[in-house]
Amino acid sequence: MIGGVHDVQMPGGAQAQAIVGLWHWLLPICVLVFVAVMIALGLALWRAPRASNDTAPDIASLSKREPKVTRVVIVAVAVSTLLLLVLLAVSVMTDRALAQLPLENALHIELTGYQWWWEARYDDPDPSRMFTTANELHVPVGRPVIVTLVGADVIHSFWVPSLAGKKDLIPGRDTTVSFRADRAGVYRGQCAEFCGYQHAKMALFVIADAPDDYARWADRQRAPAAEPSSDEARRGRALFLARSCAMCHAINGTSAQARHAPDLTHVASRMTLGAGALENTSSNREAWILDPQQFKPGTNMPPQNIAPQDLAALSAYLASLQ
Ligand code: CUA
């Protein structure tokens, strides 16, 4: 698994902290109940009278009252009810804690789930400051984030266990999830609703940066793609725009503006390719272009028939998209 904390028990923010608090009540109570039920079952089996085929049926017990059993049942029902009420109270308190996250000055992100990748649009009151990226969110530490969840094709589910609970992305019914990262770090998320063949390879990374680092990252993302600095990279750009790449992908600052696949304006700055399928290195980018199906069968990108020197030029161009 490529990078990042992916653990409900290692909370990186207020929301996940509240959820792990709930877990600390649920786990011991449920373990206690399970052990008690198993002990009761064991006792019942151990005390059961052993009979063979020719033992006469004992119907005397039918008319006999068993005050001890009645008492045990009453106590068990009372304890169960009490424990359920405790769990109910703790759940309601957790829910209230989740709803109480202060949302002033929140960062707004619209996250769209596709089979099998994520598109993130960072909203801004000034439209010229909006930008789009894929499969990786950067958020500033200490600032609340409101993520609007949009399902583009089938139902997906947003789940970054160290930051927040799950929330589904349902086509035609936008929802929101809010969280705040209180510790810098890389938090791994995963689509948590079966959404087709490559559901397992639909990871999402949330990188919580110090506010200054976040501002620098966002400024870089807003900028159009850098002008290639070598002849080879320039040739790569020409190939990108002339071949089928530009029919699906967008690179800001060029004529490639299609939105059927991840925006590649700053692709080289990301951690992974194919929503966590591969580490984002030069050689992996080349291997992915040649045959994405080898790494993520069923993905929309077809294998590319491309001459080695053209692939090298394309690769040089993609590497320049920092
Ligand atoms: Cu998207 Cu599972």
Atom of ligand 1 nearest to the CA of 194: 2
Averaged pLDDT, 71-87: 93
Residue 65 has pLDDT above 80, yes or no: no
Residue 139: Cβ-neighbour burial (10 angstroms; 0-12, 13-18, 19+): buried
Residue 1 has pLDDT above 60, yes or no: no
Atom of ligand 1 nearest to the CA of 193: 2
Kindly report the average pLDDT of the chain as a whole number. 92
The CA distance from 308 to 314, in Å, is: 10
Residue 62 has pLDDT above 90, yes or no: no
pLDDT tens across 268-313, in order? 999 999 999 999 999 999 999 999 999 999 999 999 999 999 999 9
Residue 16 has pLDDT above 90, yes or no: yes
What three-state secondary structure class fits 118?
strand
The runs of H, that is alpha helices, within 188-281 are 211-222, 231-242, 245-248
Q: What is the pLDDT of residue 55?
A: 78
Residue 117 CA to ligand 1 centre (angstroms): 8
pLDDT tens across 86-143, in order? 999 999 999 999 999 999 999 999 999 999 999 999 999 999 999 999 999 999 999 9
Residue 112 CA to ligand 1 centre (angstroms): 11
Residue 274 CA to ligand 1 centre (angstroms): 13
Residue 197 CA to ligand 1 centre (angstroms): 9
User: Which residue has its alpha carbon closest to ligand 1 atom 1?
Assistant: 156
Contacts of 191 (CB under 8 A, 6+ apart): 113, 116, 156, 157, 158, 159, 199, 202, 203, 204
Residue 154 CA to ligand 1 centre (angstroms): 8
Q: What is the pLDDT of residue 143?
A: 95
Q: What is the pLDDT of residue 57?
A: 76
Judge contact between 286 and 318, C-beta under 8 A.
Answer: no
pTM given for the model: 0.86
Structure-block tokens of residue 313: 């030029």
Atom of ligand 1 nearest to the CA of 169: 1
Residues flanking ligand 1, CB < 6 Å: 113, 116, 156, 191, 193-195, 199, 202
Averaged pLDDT, 175-195: 95
The CA distance from 252 to 236, in Å, is: 15
Averaged pLDDT, 144-170: 95
